[in-house]
Amino acid sequence: MKEDTESLEKRIEKVKQVVDSLPPKCQEIIRLNKLEGIKYKDIAVRMDISVKTVESQMRIAFKKIREAFHD
C-alpha cells in the first residue's frame, strides 16, 4: 500500500511540474478546467478567447503531460 501511495505522489508531482512548465495562459486554462471544473465555453468567455483556443491549449497541455510520462 505504501508503495502505491508513494508512486501516486510521484506521479502527481510530475504532473504539477509539467503544468508549471507550460506557458502562463495554458496553465490558467488547465487549472480553471481541471481544478475549478469550469467548462471550456465559460473559460473562453472569462479569458476573452475562443472555445477553439481553449481546446487547443488543453490539447497542448495533455500532450506535454503524456510526453512526460512516456519516458
pLDDT, tens digit, for every residue of 11-68? Answer: 899 999 999 999 999 999 999 999 999 999 999 999 999 999 999 999 999 999 999 9
For residue 24 the three cell numbers come to 502562463
* Count of positions (residues) in the chain: 71
- Residue 49: count of CB within 10 angstroms of its CB: 15
Cell of residue 35, nine digits: 481544478
pTM (whole model) above 0.75? yes
Cα gap 14→20, rounded to integer Å: 10
Helix (H, G, I), strand (E, B) or coil at 56: helix
Domains of the chain: 2-70 (1.10.10.10)
